[in-house]
Amino acid sequence: MNTRSTPKTKKRILTGDTPTGKLHLGHYVGSLENRIELQHKFDTYIMLANLHAYANHYYEADRINNDGHNVVLDNLAVGLDPNVATIFLESGVPEILELYSFFMTMVKHSRVMMNPTVKDEVKYKKLDPSVGFINYPILQAADILAFNADLVPVGEDQSPVIEQTREIAKDFNKTFGKTFVIPEAKIGRVARLCGTDGKPKMSKSGGNSILLSDDEKTLKEKVMSIYTDPKRIHATDPGKVAGNPVFIYHDAFNPNKDEVADLKSRYKKGAVGDIEVKQKLFMALNNFLEPIREKRKYFESRPKETKEILVEGTKKARKTAQETIEIFRENSKFLGLLR
Ligand code: ATP
Ligand code: MG
C-alpha cells in the first residue's frame, strides 16, 4: 500500500483538561506533574478541551470560557513553559472534527456503550447523556491522533479512553496503511487521588477537591474537614492509616517523610489527634501551593499575555494537525473525488 506517515523530529505529548472548573491536587499528581517534567524532552501540546465541556452544557459558553481561562492559568502556574509547550483551544483546531466524524463511522455503537469511563461518569455526574457525551472517547481519540501523539499523560480514570484511541488507530492503520502513531498512556505518580470526602476520585464536578488556586484560609477549612477514619472517635482510639485520605495526601504532598512516618505510627497507636495530623498536612500543602499561587498571580495580572499564549498556541497546534490530516485524507481517500 502506498501510504505516508508524519515525519517528526521529536516524540510528542498530547494531553489536556476539560474546562469544567479550576484544577486541583488530583490533576497535579495525575497529569500536570508529568507534563512539566516531560515538556523539554517531548514536543508537548496541552489542549483546552472545550468541545468536551460543551457535551450536555452547550448553552454555557460564558462559563466554559471562564473556566477555560482558569485552566490555562493553572497550567502556567504549575510551571508549564509557554515558550516550550504549546497550549491550545480544541475548537480552534477544526481538523480534529474531521477525524472525529470519520472515526464515528468506524466505531461500533456497542463498543462506545461499553466504555467503563463513560459508564462511570454518567452514573457519577447523574447525567442523561447527550450523544456527544457518550461519544467523548471518539472525540478524544481524534484529539490525540490529530497530533500523532506518542505519549498521553493522564490519570488512571482515562486509561480505558486511551485504550479505545489505540484500537481506533490500529483499525485505521490496518485498513489504510500506517497513518497514526499508536499512543501510550503515561499514568501519574498517584494514579487516582481520592476526594476530601473519601470518595475514590477528587473531581472538579464532585465538590470534593482542593484547588491549586485555593487561598490559605480556604485550604485550612478544606483540610480541617477532610474525611478520616470514621470509626475513630477519640484521639486515643487506634486509627486506620491505609486508605485514609489525610495520609494519602501526606504521602503525596508532604516532603518530610520522617514526620509522616511518625504521624502514621502514632495514629495507629491512638497517640495523636486528627487536629495535629491535619495541621501538619495544612502546613505541607500550604508550602506546596504558595509558589503556584504566586505564579498564577503573575499571569492573572497579564491577561493580554495569557490570551496571546493561547492564540499563538492554537495557530501552531492547527498547523501540526493540518499535517496529520493531509496524510489521513490521502491514505483514506476521503477527498478522493476532488483530487
Ligand atoms: P470532571 O469532573 O469535569 O470530569 P476532572 O476533575 O475529572 O473533571 P478532567 O479535566 O476530566 O478533570 O481531567 C484532566 C486530567 O486530570 C485527566 O488526565 C484526568 O485523568 C486527571 N485527573 C482528574 N482527576 C484526577 C484525580 N483525582 N487523580 C488523578 N488524576 C486525575
Ligand atoms: Mg474527568
> How many Cα atoms occupy the beta-carbon half-sphere of 237 within 13 Å?
11
Would you state the cell numbers that stand for residue 45, as one nine-digit string? 501540546
pLDDT of residue 113: 87
Please report which confidence band the pLDDT of residue 2 belongs to, taking 50, 70 and 90 as the band edges.
very low
Average pLDDT over the chain, rounded to whole? 95
Return the amino acid letter for 222. Answer: K
Give residue 1's pLDDT. Answer: 47
In three-state secondary structure terms, 15 is: strand
Q: How far is CA 271 from CA 73, 246, 276, in A?
A: 42, 16, 11
Tell me the best of 13, 17, 151, 196 to mutate to test the pocket of ligand 1, counting ligand atoms within 8 Å of each CB and taking the most.
Answer: 17
Cβ distance 225 to 249 under 8 Å?
no
| Prediction pTM value | 0.94
| Confidence label for 304 from pLDDT (cuts 50, 70 and 90) | very high
∠ CA 110-115-118, nearest 5°, is 115
Ligand 2 mean position, distance from CA 86 (Å)? 21
What does R_g of the chain's alpha carbons equal in angstroms?
A: 22
Q: Which of 27, 122, 139 to mutate to test the pocket of ligand 1 (most atoms within 8 A of CB)?
A: 27
Ligand 1 pocket residue status of 95, Cβ below 6 Å: no
Average pLDDT over residues 57-76: 97
CATH number of 216-295: 1.10.240.10
Report the percent of the chain where pLDDT is more than 70: 98
Question: CA 154, 155, 160, 164: dihedral to nearest 10 degrees?
Answer: -10
The confidence score (pLDDT) of residue 124 equals: 81
CATH 3.30.110.30 corresponds to the domain 12-194+303-338: no
Q: Residue 9 — very low, low, confident or very high, per pLDDT cuts 50/70/90?
A: confident
What separation in angstroms does the CA of 138 have from each of 79, 116, 128, 177, 239? 30, 14, 19, 20, 45
Which pLDDT does position 121 carry in this prediction? Answer: 84
Domain boundaries, the chain: 12-194+303-338, 216-295
Identify which has the larger pLDDT, 205 or 275. 275
Q: pLDDT by residue (tens digit) across 228-237? A: 999 999 999 9
- Tell me the C-alpha distance between 182 and 43, whole Å: 16
